[in-house]
Amino acid sequence: MQALVYDGEVLQLREDYPRPVPPPGEALVRVRLAGICNTDLEIVRGYMGFRGVLGHEFVGTVEEAEDRSLIGQRVVGEINAYCGECPTCRAGRPTHCPHRTTLGIWGRDGAFAEYLTLPVRNLHTVPDAISDEEAVFTEPLAAALEILEQVHLRPTDRVVVLGDGKLGLLVAQVLALMGCDLLAVGRHREKLAILARRGIPTLLEAEAEGLAADVVVECTGRPEGFAAARRILRPRGMLVLKSTYHGGVEADLTGLVVDEITLVGSRCGPFPPALRLLQRGLVDVQPLISAVYPLDRGMEAFARAAEPGVLKVLLQVG
């Protein structure tokens, strides 16, 4: 099959990559549409040391499954394939299973290919009212919703979403539904305008001097984003970290102690509410699509996704 493969040094389009065979309990999914995210860009810079087919945001059609009722269904999939048997899984933390593989990120080929496999329990059927272009945002939208699983936001909280990239724009739309005192801060007027059109207050990062917040959600995707978020945060505030990047971060840990800052790492989230938000039109993802490329132009698509100011680049597969 055709696949976009990273070998640890070079990203290349393969025309002869082996088509996966689903093991027991897994389904074979023909990919329809997949999204390039910042994690994919960081992997080709060395993040996680991954080798194989990239990609973890997708919508596809089930072609093989032990449960025949799934065949032909349009699905999205949670990216962590867990064992379900270890103490971590039994404690209700399957996304932290020490034996897990992660689609296109760790130990499992991903979605930038004609086919992928995932456990059936990871799959969620996509309602007819949701287009492929909307469904492909389910995984990052679920990641935005994970914040609400971890943090109790009060209506009086001053909340700042720092970063106007793909994830930051989704996070801001999700948090706006909570009624908190929300502000989105970024570097690009045209990106912030997407939120402003939905009535969400915005501010350019260069104009944020003196800004103070109870909660900051760091979505910049840049190592220096941590320090920027820290400058905004009030004592006893909460810093939610959503960015992943290759390389270290310099941090004043003593300052965290003195100001009694709460740090929350946040990544994968719940798919059913993400699908409900898309089905009900409560989150608008269409303005986040910058370009769509066929899979055989995947190298060009990756280059476009890495350009400054570009939002979501999609790969049309099926």
Q: Which residues are bridge partners to 314 per DSSP?
A: 35, 292
Q: Hey, what are 39's tokens?
A: 């994690």
Q: Within a 13 Å sphere around the CA of 5, how many CA atoms are in the beta-carbon half?
A: 13
Res 89: pLDDT:
96
Rounded to 10 degrees, the C-alpha dihedral 29/130/3/27 comes to -10
3-state secondary structure 255-269: HHHHCCCEEEECCCC
- Cβ(88)–Cβ(97) below 8 Å: yes
Task: Give tens-digit pLDDT for 267-299.
Answer: 899 999 999 999 999 999 999 999 999 999 999
Domain boundaries, the chain: 3-137+285-316, 143-265
Res 251: pLDDT:
85
Task: Give tens-digit pLDDT for 55-72.
Answer: 999 999 999 999 999 999
Strand order of the sheet with strand 107-108? 80-81, 101-103, 107-108
pTM above 0.85, yes or no: yes
> Taking 80 as the threshold, does the pLDDT of residue 203 lie above it?
yes
* Separation CA 234–CA 38 (nearest Å): 28
Res 40: pLDDT:
94
> Taking 80 as the threshold, does the pLDDT of residue 245 lie above it?
no
Res 250: pLDDT:
83
* Separation CA 250–CA 228 (nearest Å): 12
> Taking 80 as the threshold, does the pLDDT of residue 247 lie above it?
no
Q: Which residues are bridge partners to 233 per DSSP?
A: 213
Task: Give tens-digit pLDDT for 86-145.
Answer: 999 999 999 999 999 999 999 999 999 999 999 999 999 999 999 999 999 999 999 999
Average pLDDT, the chain: 95
* Separation CA 80–CA 195 (nearest Å): 30
Mean pLDDT calculated for residue range 67-85? 96
Res 278: pLDDT:
98
In the chain, the amino acid numbered 171 is V
The residues, ordered by sequence, that sit 6+ positions from 175 with a Cβ below 8 Å of its Cβ are 147, 148, 153, 159, 161, 182, 217
CA 297 to chain centre: 22
Res 309: pLDDT:
87
Task: Give tens-digit pLDDT for 5-49.
Answer: 999 999 999 999 999 999 999 999 999 999 999 899 999 988 888
Neighbour tally for 179: CB within 10 Å: 12
Res 27: pLDDT:
98
The fold of 143-265 is Rossmann fold (3.40.50)
Alpha-carbon torsion 112, 116, 120, 125, what sign? Answer: positive
Res 297: pLDDT:
96
Res 220: pLDDT:
92
Determine whether domain 3-137+285-316 maps to CATH 3.90.180.10.
yes
Shortest CA distance to 311 belongs to which of 76, 41, 24? 41
Orientation angle between helical segments 271-279 and 138-150, nearest 10 degrees: 120
For the chain, what is the total number of helices (H) and then of strands (E)? Answer: 10, 19
Strands 233-241 and 213-218: parallel
> Taking 90 as the threshold, does the pLDDT of residue 221 lie above it?
no
Supply the Cα-derived Rg of the chain in whole angstroms: 19
Mean pLDDT calculated for residue range 164-193? 96
